[in-house]
């Protein structure tokens, strides 16, 4: 039988510790199909999605009403909420409603918003350093 | 003659070869949707020549290997878009491709950057392959072509047929004996998997010109005159599985790292920097495969388009074998003393042979080696986190950009691999 010989206080959590919290595992269900996109502009500011934010986008998920989608419209990636207006599926932003026709190609479904909070000048410098 | 076993009585489960259509161009199109539908090519190192072409570029007559400086002068190619090779992104998408394939079948083999062999269920293999292709398309954005056959070699023939005829999927297992025979008879033996130019010439001497000829050839003669590898190929063409998915005929025998320099280098001190960087890269690759090398060959050469070509090489043996970057870097400098003064060198390379599994040979000073390799791991981790320019070895340490670095003027951003270059959405 193993005998505890250390004189120091035994860590009561050692049998329960299962590793540090992993944000990757917490936020990304499928790494293979998940991409990180940078938001450019404030098309969905009403949902708290702001210029410069990062979005996790899972391409394995299918578009469905209520989901925030990334689609390709006229060769450009666009962000919007899947809404149904008068029976017509649209991509709704704060500025416009784009009908979801056959010409609009689904790119992925946004699952997580990463929004960095202001830390003041010193903190922002630290963050820039860490991101490089 | 070998009995043919394709068709319904074939006992082996079908195998698909799935490959990404024009992989490099397809990745560029996922990164930048404005390239979809446009004639587009990807250029080799230093933006030299076309190494990948979109269908539109092929239709305009652009050939593999066409030099960019010629293509960009042609009036009918004004709208042709050329991109530099973005290896970081191609590598990232290649991993996604293979990982996605593995979510559909547990029975897969990575055959190359953009090709995977996949074991399929006997019942309706084409449906599974179709699901797989749809999933790869949705998850990664990459279009694929697939061929299904009773053996790997026939799957490769089917996939070539799919590409040639523009079909997304060709399932040879549903074909009649005659249909398979017709396609093999129309396939030159040089197009068969694993048959190179020298073998093609030798086989022609025996009257073997097509895949059908090879399938009918005497297996014993092939083995005695050439090798068991060729015998396997012939049997596989006849429908007898000899190489199950996951079976690779031989271990990696050598590892090569060679590049054209972005600008000529004449001074030994500058060349020392080049070799240090190449040796460090070769060491990184070696270690990523858990291998050690017993012999390094390192060489330098000047332009092939000059009359007086300088080519020097040196070899250094390692006993015991090693994957220690510091030892490899020091060894790579052995060629420096041979340089001609003021000579314009434009190519350098490192070839590692005598490869063995790491730890296979006994260590005299295990402690020292272990700490050296931990150092190498740490350097790899730092460059993975902060970029290749954050840390390095010796003279190329904090290197920034060097005069002889590869030229990549038309490079797309590292949109899925670097935080500061992420793809954007409006």
The pLDDT confidence band at residue A132, using thresholds 50, 70 and 90, is very low
- Residue B316 has what pLDDT? 83
Of A108 and B262, the structure prediction assigns the larger pLDDT to A108
What pLDDT does B32 receive? 96
Q: Which residues of B90-126 are buried (b: 16+ CB within 10 A; e: fewer)?
A: bebbbebbbbbbebbbebbbbbebbbbbbbbeeeebb
What confidence score (pLDDT) does residue A16 get? 64
- Residues in chain A closer than 8 A to B139 (CB atoms): 30, 32-33, 59-60
Residues on chain B touching A41 (C-beta within 8 angstroms): 426
All residue ranges of chain B with pLDDT < 70 are: 1-11, 247-253, 304-307, 359-369, 384-390, 394-404, 406
Token pair 């590869």: residue: B406
Nearest CA in chain A to B30: A107
pLDDT at site B128: 95
pLDDT of residue B363: 55
SS3 A35: strand
Residue B2 has a pLDDT of 42
Q: Judge contact between B187 and B160, C-beta under 8 A.
A: yes
Structure tokens at A9: 């206080």
Alpha-carbon distance of B31 to B96, in angstroms, equals 14
ipTM of the complex, rounded to two decimals: 0.83
- B141 in contact with chain A, both atoms CB, cutoff 8 A: yes
CB-based contact (8 Å) between B400 and chain A? no
Q: Is A40 helix (H, G, I), strand (E, B) or coil?
A: coil
Q: Which residues of B touch A76 (CB under 8 A)?
A: 33-34, 426
Q: How many angstroms away from the CA of A66 is the closest CA of chain B? A: 19
Interatomic CA distance for residues B316 and B332, integer angstroms: 8
Q: Which residues contact A10 (CB under 8 A, 6 or more apart)?
A: A4
Provide DSSP, B252-291. ---EEEEEEEEEEE--HHHHHHHHHHHHHHHHHHHHHTTE
Q: CA B141, CA B156: separation in Å to the nearest integer?
A: 23
> Which residues of A are less than 8 Å from B417 in CB distance?
none
Q: Which residue has the tokens 């502009």?
A: A41
Q: How many CB atoms within 10 Å of residue A19?
A: 6
Bridge partners, B256 (sequence order): B351
Using pLDDT thresholds of 50, 70 and 90, give the confidence band for residue A124. low
Non-local (6+) Cβ contacts of B382 within 8 A are B390, B391
In chain A, which residue's Cα lies nearest the Cα of B383? A132
pLDDT score at A119: 87
Which tokens sit at B252? Answer: 């990696």
Closest chain A CA to residue B384: A132
Residue holding tokens 């397809």? B26
Instruction: List pLDDT tens digits, range B268-287.
Output: 888 998 999 899 889 988 88
Question: Is pLDDT at A19 greater than 80 in this prediction?
Answer: no
Residue pointed to by tokens 């040089």: B190
- CB < 8 Å to B33, chain A: 72, 75-77
For residue B35, give the chain A residue with the closest CA. Answer: A75
Q: Do B425 and A54 make contact, defined as CB atoms within 8 angstroms?
A: no
Rounded Cα gap, residues B191 and B183, in angstroms: 12
User: CA A75, CA A95: separation in Å to the nearest integer?
Assistant: 19
Task: Judge: A55–B425 Cβ closer than 8 Å, yes or no.
Answer: yes
Locate the chain B residue with the closest alpha carbon to A72. Answer: B33
Q: Which of A41, A75, A131 faces B420 most closely, judged by CB atoms? A: A131
pLDDT at A80: 97
Q: Which pTM was predicted?
A: 0.75
Alpha-carbon gap, residue B327 to B372, rounded angstroms: 10
- Both tokens of A45, joined, read 């500011």
- CB-CB contact of B287 with B375 (8 Å): no
Residue-level pLDDT at B219:
86
Mean pLDDT (chain A, rounded): 86
Token digits for B401? 């950009």
Of A42-56, A60-74, B319-333, the one with minimum mean pLDDT is: B319-333
Contact A37 B425 (CB under 8 A): yes
Residue B304 has a pLDDT of 61
Q: Please give the residue that has the higher pLDDT: either A5 or A40.
A: A40
Judged by phi (left if over 0) then psi (alpha if -120 to 50, else beta), residue B373 lies in alpha
Which residues in B165-202 are b (16+ Cβ under 10 Å) and which e? eeebbbbbbebeeeebbebbeebebbebbebeeebbee
Q: Which residue has the higher pLDDT, B355 or A92?
A: A92
| B247 CB within 8 Å of a chain A CB | no
Distance from CA of B385 to the nearest CA of A (A): 8
Compute the distance between CA of residue A53 and CA of residue A115 in angstroms, rounded to an integer: 5
């Amino acid at each position: 039988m193993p005998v505890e010989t250390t004189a120091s206080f035994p860590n009561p959590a050692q049998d329960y510790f299962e590793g540090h919290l992993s944000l990757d595992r917490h936020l990304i269900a499928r790494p293979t199909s998940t991409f990180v996109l940078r938001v450019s502009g404030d098309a969905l500011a009403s949902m708290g999605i702001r210029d410069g934010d990062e979005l996790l986008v899972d391409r394995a998920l299918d578009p469905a009403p209520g989901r925030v989608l990334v689609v390709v419209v006229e060769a450009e990636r666009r962000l919007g909420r899947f809404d149904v207006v008068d029976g017509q599926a649209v991509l709704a932003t704060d500025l416009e409603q784009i009908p979801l026709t056959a010409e609009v190609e689904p790119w992925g479904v946004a699952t997580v918003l990463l929004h960095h909070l202001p830390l003041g000048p010193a903190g922002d410098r630290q963050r820039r350093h860490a991101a490089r | 003659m070998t009995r043919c076993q394709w068709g319904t009585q074939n006992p082996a489960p079908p195998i698909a070869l799935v490959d990404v259509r024009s992989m490099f161009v397809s990745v560029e199109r996922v990164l930048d949707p404005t390239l979809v539908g446009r004639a587009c090519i990807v250029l080799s190192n230093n933006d030299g020549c076309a190494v990948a072409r979109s269908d539109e570029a092929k239709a305009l007559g652009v050939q593999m290997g066409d030099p960019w400086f010629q293509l960009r002068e042609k009036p009918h190619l004004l709208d042709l878009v050329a991109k530099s090779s973005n290896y970081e992104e191609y590598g990232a998408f290649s991993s996604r491709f293979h990982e996605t394939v593995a979510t559909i079948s547990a029975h897969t083999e990575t055959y190359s950057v953009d090709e995977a062999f996949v074991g399929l269920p006997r019942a309706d293999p084409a449906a599974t392959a179709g699901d797989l292709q749809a999933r790869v398309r949705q998850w990664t954005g990459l279009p694929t072509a697939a061929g299904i056959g009773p053996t790997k070699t026939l799957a490769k023939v089917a996939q070539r047929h799919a590409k040639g005829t523009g079909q997304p999927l060709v399932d040879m297992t549903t074909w009649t004996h005659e249909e398979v025979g017709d396609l093999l008879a129309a396939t030159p033996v040089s197009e068969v998997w694993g048959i190179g130019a020298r073998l093609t010439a030798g086989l022609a001497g025996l009257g073997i010109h097509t895949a059908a000829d090879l399938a009918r050839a005497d297996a014993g003669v092939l083995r005695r005159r050439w090798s068991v590898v060729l015998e396997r190929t012939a049997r596989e063409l006849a429908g007898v599985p000899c190489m199950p998915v996951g079976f690779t005929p031989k271990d990696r025998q050598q590892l090569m790292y060679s590049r054209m320099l972005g600008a000529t280098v004449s001074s030994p001190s500058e060349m020392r920097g080049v070799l240090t960087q190449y040796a460090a890269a070769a060491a990184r690759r070696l270690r990523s495969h858990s291998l050690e090398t017993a012999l390094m060959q390192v060489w330098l050469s000047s332009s092939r388009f000059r009359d007086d070509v300088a080519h020097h090489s040196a070899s250094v043996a390692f006993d015991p074998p090693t994957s220690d970057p510091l030892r490899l870097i020091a060894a790579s400098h052995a060629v420096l003393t041979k340089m001609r003064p003021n000579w314009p060198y434009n190519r350098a390379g490192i070839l590692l042979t005598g490869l063995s599994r790491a730890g296979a040979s006994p260590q005299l000073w295990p402690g020292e080696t272990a700490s050296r390799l931990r150092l190498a791991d740490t350097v790899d981790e730092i460059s993975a986190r902060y970029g290749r320019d954050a840390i390095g070895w010796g003279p190329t340490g904090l290197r920034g950009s060097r005069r002889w670095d590869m030229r990549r003027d038309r490079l797309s951003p590292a949109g899925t691999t670097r935080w500061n270059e992420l793809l954007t959405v409006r």
